[in-house]
Amino acid sequence: MLRRRGWSMGRRGHYLIGAPWTYLLHLEPDLGRIPESERRGTIWYPFHGWEKNAVSGDHSRLAAEIREVETGPVTVCLYWLEFANPDIRRAYESAGFRLVCHGDRGSRWDGKGRDFLRGQLAELRRHRRVASNRLGSALFYGASVGCDVAVYGDPMQFEGERPEYGGTARRMRLWPELHGVRVDPDLAAEAARRELGFDHQATPEELLRMFGWKRVRCA
């Protein structure tokens, strides 16, 4: 399926190697792990903007809906752009939620964000449930480490969102079973395994061969 998606977009000569998340779980099997009986509450990821485009929506109304749906303690994780906005932070803090930020994701051109996924993994493993107002990577990550999944609330509007990508309607059409305040955990786990490409995780030798890398000895 993942290979067909690449072909449908006109891409050729590409390899399926699985998401970086799959390698993190392989390298850090115990990072942030606690006994299942000690996992508590929900970590909630409001849909966020990025460095070139913002998201518009009513965070206070979303916070009220979260408070109405969730029955245990709630951690709201904001992207650094929203975390830097005191009005957005206040909307969730005033509802009594714990606020965290995984930091800057960084890019291929800088060294920022190297611990972004590590911090996210540790947070997900301390919660029993992960939720958002749009289906995205955080939900698949959470499902892959045993979190229950939920997608509900105003999906908000991405400024400059390109209609050819299909938006929320496309996600609901492709993954209807992953939307709602309660989602079948087995279906969520299977979708996460498929979408994150666990079955395509490559060995170090395969990665060296595919990308022409050379081994480097560390002093």
CA distance 90 to 102: 18
What is the DSSP code (8-state) at residue 180? Answer: B
> In which band, very low, low, confident or very high, does the pLDDT at 192 lie, cut at 50, 70 and 90?
very high
- Name, in order, each residue with C-beta under 8 angstroms of 27's C-beta and a sequence gap of 6 or more: none
Asked if 2 and 16 count as a contact pair (C-beta separation under 8 A), the reply is yes
Considering the domain boundaries, does residue 67 fall inside one?
yes
Number of neighbouring beta carbons within 10 Å of residue 14: 11
15, two tokens? 């390899």
pLDDT of residue 12: 64
What's the number of domains the chain is made of? 1
Predicted model pTM: 0.88
Note every long-range contact of 203-212, with CB atoms under 8 Å and residues 24 or more positions apart, other chains counting. Answer: 206/17, 207/17, 210/15, 210/17
| Contact criterion met (CB below 8 Å) for 185 and 143 | yes
- Asked if residue 106 has pLDDT above 80, the reply is no
What's the pLDDT tens digit per position in 141-157?
A: 999 999 999 999 988 87
Residues 6+ apart with CB under 8 A from 80: 101, 103, 104
Reported as a pLDDT band with limits 50, 70 and 90, residue 217 is confident
How high is the pLDDT of residue 1?
A: 53
pLDDT reported for residue 73: 97
Which residue, chain included where needed, has tokens 């960084």? Answer: 106
pLDDT at 184 over 70: yes
**CATH code of the domain covering residue 64:** 3.40.50
State percent of the chain over pLDDT 70. 86
Looking at the domain assignment, is residue 216 inside a domain? no
Residue 217 lies in a domain: no
Catalogue the E-assigned strands of the chain.
42-45, 55-56, 74-77, 98-100, 129-132, 148-151, 157-158
- Show the domain range for 203: 2-211
Does 148 fall in a domain? Answer: yes
Q: Each residue of 74-91: pLDDT tens digit?
A: 999 999 889 999 999 999
Q: Does 136 map to a domain?
A: yes
Give 33-92 as a DSSP string: ---GGG--SEEEE----BTTB-EE--HHHHHHHHHHH--S-EEEE--HHHHT-HHHHHHH
Indicate whether 185 belongs to any domain: yes
Q: Considering just the CA atoms, what is the radius of gyration of the chain in Å? A: 18
In a domain, 219, yes or no: no
- pLDDT for position 174: 87
Which backbone phi and psi does 72 adopt, to 5 degrees?
A: -115, -170
Query: Per the domain annotation, does 171 fall within a domain?
Result: yes
Between 191 and 52, where is the model more confident?
A: 191
